[in-house]
Structure 1
Amino acid sequence: MARLPRTPPAIAGAFIVTLLVVLAIIGPPLWGEQAELINAGAILQGASAEHPLGTDNLGRDLLARVLVAGRFSLGLALLTTLIGAGIGIVLGALPAILPRRAGRVVTSTVNALVAFPGLLLAMFTAVIAGLGAKGAVLGIGVAIAPGFARLTQTLAASVAGADYVAAARMLGVPRRRILTTHVLPNIAEPLILNLTQAMGGALLGLAGMSFLGLGVQPPSFDWGRLLFDGFSRIYVTPEVALGPAVAVAVAGIGFNLLGDALAKAASRTTAPTGKSAGEVPPPAGEPDPEAVLEVSGLSVTFPGGVRPVRELSLTVAPGEIVGLVGESGSGKSLTAAAIGGLVPYPGVVSGARLRLAGQDLGELSEQQRRKLLGTSLAMVFQDPMASLNPALKVGGQLAEVAVVHQGATRAEARERAVDRLGHVHLPEPDKQARRHPHELSGGMRQRAVIAMGLMGTPKLIIADEPTTALDVTVQRQILRLLREVSAETGAATLFISHDIAVVGELCDRVVVMYAGRVVEELPVEQLATGARHPYTRALIASLPDMETDRTQPLASIPGRQPSPAQVPEQGCAFADRCALATSRCAERPSLVSYGKAHSVACWEVDS
């Protein structure tokens, strides 16, 4: 709720839901007696000063009955939602832990229920359970369960393949415990957010059941029952049906608006706004006016205190290519995502400073930040198919950048897209612009993604392992292209890779990461012979060359990098794998200067 966007739909949804809750609390005590008061002299009246919505067949005030019915209507909707969510979550989570054959049976059942019309399913269940509130609640609950089951199934599938679930299965942990301990807690938040929207659907469904005569029966009444009672008079005194109809519609709209707002708030990445819990960032100091990118004390935190990136600091100057290297899982890609505002929810980005092109991103509004990132930052990812929509032509996707961020016309944007494709040495750029991504080779797609970044005038290019999936010849062409683009445009480049040989060929400066922290930073010309941190040395030693003895096993680093959840808060994270580790390594070393443009975080730096 704290991240709820201050937009008119979000404010309206929150206001309506709050009003409904207040009405449910105060309605029966304030208007309950008036709602039950029988007045033989005021039977079946229309709107009047005394009865704004008219009266029913016993002379009872319909406005009071609408206000009092709010508690019963919302209570039934809440119960219905919980029943539907409970059934759906169990059905959706079972395939993640059941044997394959049993899981397929459950999945097929869910698919069949999703395809079955919800209203018919609700009516069928209600008839079996019996007329009245009980039957309506069970009917609508069963009807909304398949939606929860499909959502849970999708979310659980992303968790079921995790190593910790496989380990739990291997250790013989009971399936019920795997479900309640390992699967459901990791998908709980989106399911809880979906409850708000489901509440609105349940409210409308219950009103529909009562309107059809299958729901709440006299003497009880909810909004749907009041609408049913007044519908026979709608052509004579329409106001008697107007009150419950408006209540149902407004409540449904309110819950849906609030649910949408909560979902959007949950999916937003938190911009760097200062320190997070348990973190004391280093002093920010004075900003570097020459730097295109300046990051200070940047951290990325996930629920449970997991921090894949820990107090990272780096700068990139205009025209400079800085390499960010380390093993997989060291936090390189999350660092790039944090700079570009792309850390997925529920990740939280925090830091003492994050400046791009001289502007502090933490001080900008959402609109200003989006505009700055859209025009000053270009990102090139490892898989170009993840950046290009396979259903759209390449030229149209590039043109969209100029239309959205630069206000260009379609014709101008199209012309610039063709020009940019030619600029990255794509043959026949006009022809390539009319093709879909799958019609291009991997190297051509990567060039197209680079061209997309050049549609504006980027001051910073972030290339996240852009050559990993390419063969050696195309890889060299892409590296040469990045060097040309940086030299021609003067853009700073942050090149991310796990291949230290590629970084040594392309970059001007190298930043080495391990377990989320920077352990060494040095000029590229010192990389081969001047590296001082044991981890950097080990990375270099693991590279074979033409003189490597092929009769011996390839050099490797013993052990494995700790997962983000296992990184020690105190001590050197590399100590368990380091041949130079001493008792002093129980204390975490700071990054200290070791010469011009050279910093190392190691107690045994001179060893």
Structure 2
Amino acid sequence: MSARSKWLDVVRSPLGATALGLVILVALAAVFAPLIWGPQAEQVDPTAITQGPSAAHLLGTDSLGRDVLARVMVATQLSIILAVLAVIIGVVAGTLLGTAPSVLPRWAGRFIAGVVNIAVAFPGLLLALFFAVIFGVGTTGAVLAIGFAMAPGFARLTQTLSAGIAGRDFIAAARVAGVSRIRILIRHILPNIGEPLVVNATVGAGSALLAFAGLSFLGLGVQVPAYDWGRLLGEGLNRIYLNPAAAIGPAVAVVVAGLAFNMLGETAASVIGGRSARRRGRLPLTALSSAPVHAQAAGDEVVLLVDDLRVSFPGPDGWITPVRGVSFTISRGEAIGVVGESGSGKSLTALAVAQLIERPGRISAGQLEFCGTPLQEASERSVRHLLGTSMAMVFQDPMTSFNPTRRIGSQLAEAASEHQGITRRAAMDRAIDRLQAVRVPAAERRAKQYPHEFSGGMRQRAMIAMGLMNHPRLIIADEPTTALDVTVQRQVLQLLAGVRRDTDAAILLISHDIAVIAQTCDRVLVMYAGRIVEDLPAAHLHSHARHPYTRALLDVVPELDTDRSTPLKMIPGRPPAPGAFPVGCAFAARCPLATELCRERDPELVDDASGHRVACWHPVDGDQPAADAAIPAVTSALPIAQHEGATR
């Protein structure tokens, strides 16, 4: 259903029809009332002072004999204009305050967030009175007072919405591409939070109208000779026992206009909410030497060097370290696969390498070098440029990998224009060329389409094309085939292999599918509980895997000739939570070979001098077939579906 059809359906509903009718009524009164009733509202009649309702004056007259009804109608224009101006000020100021922590230094962002949190705790009308004292009595002071009183609420809303968008994959992709914070804010975050801000601004207009009426009633708002509904209400209340209609008229006007704004906001929310719900041949194997990890791949160009990498986050009882002591290297043209269950630290390791761990998370390492540059010591600007030009990331969810409000071509072109200094036209031409390189049909037409117009496989191809906009030396593919059917999975994996072959780029492939890793990579890193427990050539995975956990992962993969009458084999128990790693080997509680030594001491990752590293006190015989050494099936264990649904 199109947005136009959705609007028509909502307008036909009782709520939508009432909201539309009230909005039209208020708009017509604001535009035409001064033209129709303007002279009558200003006509002074000494013979008709403070009269009650009559055929000539339906709401009576004021102290100068002016018609109250005419003045109520004429006051519509000024009342609506002032409320809209206050809302605009509140939205603009609130958006600036809400997005400031995203672009300012951390200390300044935390200070602004603290001020906003304090301001939100006070009632809006109390803040309006406070600002009215600061800005002074009068129309201008009242507009500024109400606008700034509304700003904290919009700032809090903007912070919340921005935090939800900032965690999306397309924001991470923009950071990897080296896009500046301000540009990410303007091009990616604000367009995605605009709709709820508009809805809340519409609802907020009703509150602003009421606040304005309150200030004018107290004598702090509109001053004579101008008048709005609040001023008329104050004048009517002074004579409420003589002529109640003089007070009821402006009060009804405030209520009707407030309902119009609030119901319009509810109508827009139902339309936008419905629309949002809908959007919703390989290179030779590279053998490792027996040297320490930082000296591995000698003689080859080391693209990525990771030594003793740790990622920590604050917890209620201290720091939690879900990635603890990961070490490996990747050479030019090499493909390394990372496998493991949910929570093993695979994706956190990749995000740490790409410098995408947000504060308060911490990254520490003995060495963390990319293309010879120490990432922990280099300046933020140089790291951003290096990662933007030499590293590409392909995320696991193709739907969230792109900004839904921008065309595919412009998102690809942004990566090139940001770092290569080329014109917009040249960047778009390169985007079309890269789409053609990843075999997207009708690339020129497709570049003008939005992400929702692409299928899942095409979005993943476009994501790979984005990584190729510059000249990447490392491609990090974080479960790139998740949620894709097997045919598209094969196409995406073949495409990555082709890119690797054509560009000599290294690939770090993260997957929960150990069979895919074995078929597409040169080396396999098996992770468990934040550590690498085995590192071996992919060609030796089925025949020489020595860690019981690796053997268990191999054994739970069903084969075509598996006996259907027997239950599927499973790994008993659950992986330990990141904040509750046990003493000793983390796999000991699930391992049938575990001894007291395993429960007391954590084994080191030891190289057997043949390029095979394993962290186990009782490694399995490397020549024993996997099926013979795997963990036996247990009916109370986790199902294989839960094992293969690994997250990060």
User: What range is the shorter-chain TM-score in?
Assistant: 0.5 to 0.7
Residue 356 (str. 1) matches residue 356 (str. 2): no
Which residue of 584, 592, 614 maps to 1:579? 592
The count of corresponding residues between Structure 1 and Structure 2 is: 383
Which residue of 297, 300, 304 maps to 2:308? 297
For the structure 1 residues 79 and 531, does the alpha-carbon distance in structure 2 shift closer, same or farther, using more than 3 Å as the test? closer
Which amino acid letter does the alignment assign opposite residue 409 of structure 1? T
For the structure 1 residues 300 and 427, does the alpha-carbon distance in structure 2 shift closer, same or farther, using more than 3 Å as the test? same
- What is the TM-score with the length of structure 1 in the denominator? 0.57
- What is the TM-score with the length of structure 2 in the denominator? 0.54
Report Cα offsets for 1:361-411 as digits up to 9, x if no partner.
122111100000000000000112322111111111111111001111112
Residue 414 (str. 1) matches residue 428 (str. 2): yes
Report Cα offsets for 1:231-262 as digits up to 9, x if no partner.
xxxxxxxxxxxxxxxxxxxxxxxxxxxxxxxx
Task: Give, in whole Å, the separation in 1 of the partners of 2:322 and 2:553.
Answer: 20
Task: Give, in whole Å, the separation in 2 of the partners of 1:418 and 1:148.
Answer: 39
Secondary structure of the residue aligned to 1:123 is helix
Task: Give, in whole Å, the separation in 1 of the partners of 2:515 and 2:114.
Answer: 61
Corresponding position of 1:561: 575
Q: Is the Cα–Cα contact under 8 Å of residues 320 and 493 in structure 1 kept in the other structure?
A: yes
Task: Give, in whole Å, the separation in 1 of the partners of 2:516 and 2:439.
Answer: 21
Corresponding position of 1:323: 337
Task: Give, in whole Å, the separation in 2 of the partners of 1:549 and 1:429.
Answer: 47
Report matched runs for 1:332-411 at 5 Å.
Answer: 332-411=346-425
Task: Give, in whole Å, the separation in 2 of the partners of 1:583 and 1:365.
Answer: 47
Shift of 1:78: 13
Shift of 1:122: 3.0
Q: Is the Cα–Cα contact under 8 Å of residues 548 and 620 in structure 2 kept in the other structure?
A: no
For the structure 1 residues 337 and 354, does the alpha-carbon distance in structure 2 shift closer, same or farther, using more than 3 Å as the test? same
Report matched runs for 1:124-139 at 5 Å.
Answer: none
Corresponding position of 2:605: 591
Shift of 1:430: 1.1
Q: Is the Cα–Cα contact under 8 Å of residues 83 and 141 in structure 1 kept in the other structure?
A: no
Q: Is the Cα–Cα contact under 8 Å of residues 84 and 140 in structure 1 kept in the other structure?
A: no
Corresponding position of 2:83: none
Task: Give, in whole Å, the separation in 1 of the partners of 2:117 and 2:397.
Answer: 41
Corresponding position of 1:308: 322
Determine what percentage of the aligned residue pairs are the same residue: 52
Secondary structure of the residue aligned to 1:413 is helix
Structure 1 spans left out of the alignment, 5+ residues: 18-76, 89-112, 128-138, 159-208, 215-281
Shift of 1:145: 7.0
Secondary structure of the residue aligned to 1:298 is strand
Which amino acid letter does the alignment assign opposite residue 593 of structure 1? D
Report Cα offsets for 1:475-524 as digits up to 9, x if no partner.
00001111110011000000000110111111111000000000000001
Task: Give, in whole Å, the separation in 1 of the partners of 2:152 and 2:579.
Answer: 34
Shift of 1:144: 7.2
Q: Is the Cα–Cα contact under 8 Å of residues 116 and 155 in structure 2 kept in the other structure?
A: no
Q: Is the Cα–Cα contact under 8 Å of residues 326 and 498 in structure 1 kept in the other structure?
A: yes
Corresponding position of 1:274: none
Shift of 1:320: 0.9
Which amino acid letter does the alignment assign opposite residue 495 of structure 1? L
Report matched runs for 1:198-277 at 5 Å.
Answer: none
Task: Give, in whole Å, the separation in 1 of the partners of 2:476 and 2:494.
Answer: 15
Shift of 1:11: 12
Which amino acid letter does the alignment assign opposite residue 306 of structure 2? V
Residue 454 (str. 1) matches residue 468 (str. 2): yes
Which residue of 117, 128, 133 maps to 1:122? 128
For the structure 1 residues 521 and 9, does the alpha-carbon distance in structure 2 shift closer, same or farther, using more than 3 Å as the test? closer
Which amino acid letter does the alignment assign opposite residue 312 of structure 2? T
Shift of 1:156: 12
Secondary structure of the residue aligned to 1:485 is helix
Task: Give, in whole Å, the separation in 1 of the partners of 2:310 and 2:588.
Answer: 22
Residue 426 (str. 1) matches residue 440 (str. 2): yes
For the structure 1 residues 78 and 122, does the alpha-carbon distance in structure 2 shift closer, same or farther, using more than 3 Å as the test? farther
Corresponding position of 1:499: 513
Task: Give, in whole Å, the separation in 2 of the partners of 1:314 and 1:340.
Answer: 15
Which amino acid letter does the alignment assign opposite residue 486 of structure 2? V
Task: Give, in whole Å, the separation in 1 of the partners of 2:590 and 2:355.
Answer: 33
Corresponding position of 1:480: 494
Which amino acid letter does the alignment assign opposite residue 489 of structure 2? Q
Aligned-residue CA RMSD in angstroms? 3.9
Task: Give, in whole Å, the separation in 2 of the partners of 1:533 and 1:470.
Answer: 30
Q: Is the Cα–Cα contact under 8 Å of residues 119 and 143 in structure 1 kept in the other structure?
A: no
Secondary structure of the residue aligned to 2:302 is coil
Which amino acid letter does the alignment assign opposite residue 466 of structure 1? P
Secondary structure of the residue aligned to 2:128 is helix
For the structure 1 residues 388 and 123, does the alpha-carbon distance in structure 2 shift closer, same or farther, using more than 3 Å as the test? same
Shift of 1:560: 0.5
Secondary structure of the residue aligned to 2:399 is helix
For the structure 1 residues 372 and 561, does the alpha-carbon distance in structure 2 shift closer, same or farther, using more than 3 Å as the test? same
Secondary structure of the residue aligned to 1:412 is helix
Shift of 1:345: 2.2
Q: Is the Cα–Cα contact under 8 Å of residues 80 and 140 in structure 1 kept in the other structure?
A: no
Report Cα offsets for 1:524-580 as digits up to 9, x if no partner.
111112110000000000000112111111111000011111113x30000000010
Task: Give, in whole Å, the separation in 2 of the partners of 1:79 and 1:420.
Answer: 45
Task: Give, in whole Å, the separation in 2 of the partners of 1:157 and 1:344.
Answer: 14
Task: Give, in whole Å, the separation in 2 of the partners of 1:124 and 1:442.
Answer: 53
